[in-house]
A and B are shown apart, each in its own frame.
Chain A
Amino acid sequence: QSALTQPPSASGSPGQSVTISCTGTSSDFGAYDYVSWYQRHPGKAPQLMIYEVNKRPSGVPDRFSGSKSGNTASLTVSGLQAEDEADYYCSSYVGSNNFWVFGGGTKLTVL
């Protein structure tokens, strides 16, 4: 069982917005706002989409945004495109011993 809880699936039509939640406890998120989101297409390397809750690495479309409220982090994908269909994982850096915890992953389907 993963430390962080994500819905197993999410879906939306092209052009729509979808939000994926990631829920944990205060200890799961630690003393930092170091929540990351990763996109993984089948057979491909995971790609960092969001770090430090709401920051985008260069090259990641601004359709992807992150937020956090209390013990729930969220990833929103706006203007859904077919290429966004993938698995998404949240992660939190807990702090002690460079330890990460992950969510179980959400399969995003573009209808």
Chain B
Amino acid sequence: QLQLQESGPGLVKPSETLSLTCTVSGGSIRGSSYYWGWIRQPPGKGLEWIGSVYHSGNTSYNPSLKSRVIISADTSKNQVSLKLTSVTAADTAIYYCARVIVYGGHSGDYWGQGTLVSVSS
């Protein structure tokens, strides 16, 4: 059974960089039929797509966050990472990683439980 686990600091100071890792177990991040996405949910708000990465390193980002986001894949560690720079309180959210299946309507068939990141001084 594929499992995804997000990890990283739960508290980040304003203007600093948020860094999260998604460790995938029970399967490989390599594969042409799927890719890996990051999604977040601010308190009291809906889900927001942050961006995605293929194991090859090809990425795509939400235009509203593109200038501050870097998503990467490390096949040797079977991990996917998210970096969000110059954070503000508006970046406080639960951050999820998910596997996205291309031939399943680009839907997220496996998700991590999410990790809460608060931005505060």
A interface residues (Cβ-Cβ under 8 A, vs B): 2, 32-36, 38, 43-48, 51-53, 55, 57, 89, 91, 93, 97-105
Contact = CB atoms under 8 A, between A and B. Distances in A.
Interface string B56-99: 00001111000000000000000000000000000000001010
Q: Which of A33, A36, A93, A100 has most B Cβ within 10 Å?
A: A100
B113 interface: yes
Contacts of A32: 105
Given A93-B106, A98-B106, A99-B60, A46 B111 contact: yes
A98 B111 contact: no
A97 B108 contact: no
Contacts of B96: 45-46
B113 A34 contact: no
Interface stretch (B13-21, B24-32, B46-54): B46-54
B111 A45 contact: yes
Given A91-B47, A98-B60, A47 B107 contact: no
B105 A105 contact: no
A52 B104 contact: yes
Nearest to B109: A48
A103 B45 CA distance: 10
B49 A100 contact: yes
B106 to A, nearest CB: 4
B105 A99 contact: no
Nearest to A96: B60
Contacts of A102: 39, 46-49
A36 B105 contact: yes
B116 to A, nearest CB: 10
Given A43-B113, A46-B96, A47-B111, A104 B106 contact: no
Nearest to B35: A98
Nearest to B114: A45
15 contacts: A2-B47, A32-B105, A34-B106, A36-B108, A38-B111, A43-B113, A48-B107, A51-B107, A89-B46, A91-B47, A93-B107, A97-B60, A98-B35, A98-B106, A100-B106
